[in-house]
Amino acid sequence: SCLWAKGAARAMAHSGGRLLTALGRLGSTVVAVGAAAASRGPREHYRALAENHEAPKDWQNLEQRFLAKRMVILANWIDDALANQIVAKLLHLELESGTEPVMLIINSDGGQLYGGFAIYDTMRLLSAPVHTFCLGRAESMAAVLLAAGEPGHRYVAPSARVMIHQPSWTVDGKRKAADVSVEAVEATVARVRFTEAIAGCCRRPRKQVECAMEHDHYMAAQEAVDFGLADKVPA
């Protein structure tokens, strides 16, 4: 993790940013906290806490240190609870400074559209530029958030994977037929909004994006840059 932090720091230093330089300084803390957590209990305990949107005290302290350096971590399935947490952190950093960049670090397989678009709209409404960095993966809605970052400051790690596809939509089988038709219309609206968001961020024609999203479209780091979802792959 220290090697990744140093690589990310060099990328941001080259672009004039300061946030990932701070990430490099925190690298040793990440390792120390991770080792301490592993020594105190089984992984299942921490997984259960994560599912309840809670975190061990060590992780909470680490998140606070990242937040103090204007870094926000999105590392889970996006639902309303997680989206509210991310939005609150972004607004908090906006109140602290409307000019200094915020770094949104992403490792997520996507999630709910409405929650994701709450984060997306917040990123777009902030005065402070939001830089994005994908570590691991950015799939579905998480790929939209990666692409929504400040142009020129959307990074994807060399081994990361990015995936876009048609948004999925399920309808409860117990609903009335009239409600099903309403949900069908809403699903179409959501798909159009999803497609337009990617097309706008990537500066590609909507039809071209729709074709690319017909099936799960996985991309390596450089492919994501070529598509327009990111700007740089740090060496």
Identity of the amino acid at 32: A
> Average pLDDT, stretch 209-216?
92
pLDDT of residue 172: 59
- The structure's pTM equals 0.73
* DSSP-assigned letter for residue 228: T
Most distant CA pair in the chain: distance in Å? 57
Q: Which residues make Cβ contacts (< 8 Å) with residue 118, sequence separation at least 6?
A: 83, 84, 87
Residue 140 among the catalytic residues: yes
What the block records as the tokens of 59 is: 């992780």
pLDDT of residue 45: 46
pLDDT of residue 211: 93
* pLDDT 10s digits, 170-186: 655 556 667 777 877 88
pLDDT of residue 15: 43
Q: Is 222's pLDDT higher than 80?
A: yes
How far apart CA 145 and CA 156 sit, in angstroms, is 12
Residue 131 contacts residue 199 (beta carbons within 8 Å): no
Q: Which of 131, 140, 168, 215 is catalytic?
A: 140
pLDDT of residue 35: 39
How far apart CA 194 and CA 209 sit, in angstroms, is 10
Within 10 Å of residue 180's Cβ, how many Cβ atoms? 12
pLDDT of residue 51: 54
Q: Which of 28, 45, 131, 165 is catalytic?
A: 165
Q: Which residues make Cβ contacts (< 8 Å) with residue 125, sequence separation at least 6?
A: none
3-state secondary structure of 138: strand
pLDDT of residue 151: 97
* pLDDT 10s digits, 111-148: 999 999 999 999 999 999 999 999 999 999 999 999 99
